[in-house]
Amino acid sequence: MNISLLDPRRYWLPVVFIILGYGFWVSPHFKEIAAGVALFLFGMISLEKGFKVFTGGALERVLRRSTNRLWKSIVFGIGSTTLMQSSTLVSLISISFVSAEMITLAAGIGIIMGANLGTTTGAWLIAGLGLRVDIAAYAMPALVFGVVMLLQRSKQVKGLGYLAMGVGFLFLGIHYMKEGFEAFQQAFEFSAYEVPGLGGVLLFTGIGMAITVVMQSSHATLLLIIAALAAGQITYDAALALAIGANLGSAVTTAMGGMTANLGGKRLALAHVVFNIMTALVAITLIEQMGWVVEQLSELMGIEDDLLLKLALFHTLFNLLGVILLAPFIRQLEWFLLRYVQFTPKSRAQPLYLYPGALETPASALNALRKEVGHLYDNAHDLIAHGVSLRRSVIASEDSLSEAVKKTHRIIPLDLDDLYEHKVKSLHNEIIAFSSEIQGREMSKYAIHQVDALQQASRDIVEAVKATKHLHKNLSRYGISSHAAVRESYDSIRLRIARVLREIRQLRLQDPDTVTSLSLDALRLSVEKSGRRFTSDINRMVRSRLLSPAIATSMLNDEKYASEICENLLEAAQALLQTGSTLAEQAAEGALALDENDIERMTRAEPDSTQLDHTHGDQKTAR
C-alpha cells in the first residue's frame, strides 16, 4: 500500500466537508454561524494580503531597529498582531525572519510573546464593540470603498482596497455569527452538557484548541467563544477554558507551519509551543485564583456585570502572566534550543534557507534568497580552492599565499564533474526555482532589482565552477611541471585566483553597511592587470624560444579560464555584498564605480603600477 494513503492529512478536507454538510442539513441556524466564520476568515485573508503590499525593502531595517531589545520585540509583536489581527500570521512571518537570519532566535521569541498579547486586543474590540452595535452597517461602506480601490492600477491603492475589504468582511462575519448564535439558542442549549470541575476545564480547553486548529485562527475562535457567551450558549467558566484552548491551538498551527522551515524556524516554532503550553498550564492550575483577580479588577473597572469584557480581561491576564514568567528566561531558553534542538544536518548540496514559509513577505524571501546564494558561493569557494590545489584553511588564514603556492608538491586529484553536479548544479536549480516563485509575487522595484541581481550572481558562480573544471585539466598536467617557466606561470594563475577568493572572503566578513561596490574596484583592476601581464610574459617566452607554441596556446587558454573565474566571482560577490542599498544608493555608487572602459584605460595607462601577484594579496586587509 502507498504510504501516502495512511497520511491523515489526506482525509482532513473530506471529513470537514462531511461535518459541514451535516450541519447545514440539520440546522438552518448553523449555516449563519458557519457563514459568519467563513466571512471573518476571508476578511483576515484580505487584511493579510493588504498588509503584505506595504512590506517592502524597508521592513528589514524596521525589524533590526525594533527587535534589538526584548521589550522592543514584544512591543513589535503586540503592534503587528493588533494591526493584522492574526497572531498565527505574525508567528509564521517571525519564523521566516528567523529562518532567513534577519533576526535572532531571542528576538523571534519576543515577537511570539508579543503576538500572544496582541490577540487580546481583538477580544476587547469584539467584546466591547463588535457585539453591541449594528456592525453590519459599517461593513457595507468598507466593502464598497474596498472594491473601488481594488479596481485601480496603483499597487498601494489596491493594498488599501484589500485592507478596507478585510475590515468589511470581518464586520460581516461578526454580524452573522452573532445572529446565528442568537437564533441557535432557541433550538439547542450547549450549557446543559457542561462538565463541572477540572474535567470540564480540560474538556473545553481541548475543544477550543481543536476549533483553532481547524480554523487556523485564534481570533476566529475567540469571536466564536464571545458570540456563544453573549447568546447564552455557553457559561462564563466554559468560555474561560475555551479561551485557554484557543491559545494552545495557535501554537499547534504555528508548529505545523514551522515544520517546513529550516533549523532556526523549527526552533522558534518549538519555543512558541513551549511558551503557550506553559501559559496554558499556569492558567489551568490557577484558574480559580485568576478568576478571583478578574472579579476584583472588574469591580474597579466597573464591568463586574459584563461577562464579555470579563472574558477579554481574563484572556489578557493569563497571556500577560505567561510573558512575565518567561521573559526573564529568554536567553536561557535560546541557549537550550540552540544547544539541544538539533535536526539531521543537510548535505551541502541541499538548500539551507529556501522553504515555502520564506515567501511570507518580500523581505524574508529576498533575505532567504541572498543567504542561499551565499551558501552556493561557499560551496563553489571550496571547490575552486581545491581546484587550484589549495586547502580552504589556507585561504581563510593570514599565511602567505605565495609561499603556499610555491610549496605545492602535488595537484589535488578531483572529480570536478561529480562535485559540480552534487554541490553546485542541484543547489543552483533550487535557487532558480525559488527566485522564480518570488518574481511571481507583488514586489517593489527594489526587490525586483535585488532578485534579478542574485539570480545572475548564482549563474556567475556556476560559470566560475565550470571554468575551474576546464582549468583543472591542464593544471593537473602542467601544475608541477619540471619546466620552471611553465610551473611558475601556472603558479601565478593559482595565486591570482586564491587572492580573489581570500579578498572576497574578507569582504564578506565585514559589516554589510561598510561594503560598497567600490570595495571591489581595486581588486578588479588588479586582476585585469595581472591577466595582461601574464599574456605579455607568455608572448615574450615564445619569442625567446623558452616555450613551445603548443604549450603557450594551452597556457593562454587557461589564463582565459582564470580570468573568467575571477570576473565571475567578483560579479557574484558584488551582488552578495550589497545587502542594504536602495536603488538610489546603488545608482550613486554606480556613478563612482569603475566600469569596463575605466578599467581598460587604467590598465593600459599604468601597466606596472599595481602588481597583484607581488603585493596585493599577501598584505593583510587594512579595512
What secondary structure does DSSP assign to 27-54, as a single string? -HHHHHHHHHHHHHHHHHHHHHHHHHHT
Is 320 in the same domain as 371?
no
Structural domain includes residue 346: no
Q: Tell me the pLDDT tens digit for each residue of 234-261.
A: 888 889 999 999 888 888 877 776 776 7
Looking at residue 466, what is its pLDDT?
Answer: 92
Structural domain includes residue 283: yes
End position of a domain, from candidates 340, 366, 398 = 340
User: Can you tell me the distance from the alpha carbon of 80 to that of 48, in angstroms, rounded to the nearest whole number?
Assistant: 11
Number of domains forming the structure of the chain: 2
Looking at residue 545, what is its pLDDT?
Answer: 87
Structural domain includes residue 422: yes
Specify whether the CB–CB gap between 269 and 336 falls below 8 A. no
Looking at residue 381, what is its pLDDT?
Answer: 93
Structural domain for 327, as ranges:
41-340
CA neighbours closer than 13 Å in the CB half-sphere of residue 453: 23
In Å, what is the CA distance from 210 to each residue of 67, 253, 277, 338, 498? 32, 10, 15, 30, 59
Looking at residue 563, what is its pLDDT?
Answer: 92
Structural domain includes residue 532: yes
State which of 248-262, 288-302, 576-590 shows the largest mean pLDDT: 288-302
User: Does 601 have pLDDT greater than 80?
Assistant: no
Q: Which of 414 and 184 is assigned the larger pLDDT?
A: 414
Q: Which residue has the cell 466571512?
A: 39
User: Does 51 have pLDDT greater than 90?
Assistant: no
Structural domain includes residue 348: no
Q: How many of the other CB atoms lie within 10 Å of CB of 619?
A: 8
Is 540 in the same domain as 496?
yes
Q: What angle do CA 426, 427, 428 make, to 5 degrees?
A: 90
User: Can you tell me the distance from the alpha carbon of 524 to that of 529, in angstroms, rounded to the nearest whole number?
Assistant: 9
State which of 65-74, 107-116, 590-599 shows the largest mean pLDDT: 107-116
Looking at residue 324, what is its pLDDT?
Answer: 92
pLDDT (mean) for 83-102 = 77
Structural domain includes residue 521: yes
Q: Tell me the pLDDT tens digit for each residue of 120-159.
A: 887 787 777 655 566 677 788 889 999 999 888 888 888 8
pLDDT (mean) for 511-531 = 76
Q: Check the CA dihedral 487-488-491-492 and report its sign.
A: negative
Q: Which of 222 and 380 is assigned the larger pLDDT?
A: 380
* Neighbour-count burial for 333-357, b at 16+ CB within 10 Å, e otherwise: bbeebeeeeeeeeeeeeebbbbbeb
End position of a domain, from candidates 307, 340, 373 = 340
Structural domain includes residue 17: no
User: Can you tell me the distance from the alpha carbon of 7 to that of 435, in angstroms, rounded to the nearest whole number?
Assistant: 31
What's the maximum distance between 2 C-alpha atoms anywhere in the chain?
Answer: 108
Q: Phi and psi for 358 in degrees, rounded to 5?
A: -65, -15
pLDDT (mean) for 572-601 = 58
Is 436 in the same domain as 475?
yes
Structural domain includes residue 4: no
* Threshold 0.95, pTM exceeds: no
Is 392 in the same domain as 320?
no
Give the burial class of 379: count Cβ atoms within 10 A of its Cβ; 0-12 exposed, 13-18 middle, 19 or more buried.
buried
Is 297 in the same domain as 425?
no
Q: Which residue has the cell 520585540?
A: 73
User: Can you tell me the distance from the alpha carbon of 251 to that of 546, in angstroms, rounded to the nearest whole number?
Assistant: 74
User: Does 612 have pLDDT greater than 80?
Assistant: no
Is 202 in the same domain as 327?
yes
Return the percent helix, strand and coil in the chain, to nearest 5. 80, 0, 20
Is 322 in the same domain as 410?
no
Q: Which of 33 and 11 is assigned the larger pLDDT?
A: 33
End position of a domain, from candidates 279, 313, 340 = 340
Spatial CA neighbour of 282 closest among 328, 224, 323: 323
User: Does 544 have pLDDT greater than 70?
Assistant: yes
Average model confidence (pLDDT) across the chain: 80
Looking at residue 192, what is its pLDDT?
Answer: 58
Is 442 in the same domain as 587?
yes
Q: Which of 112 and 611 is assigned the larger pLDDT?
A: 112
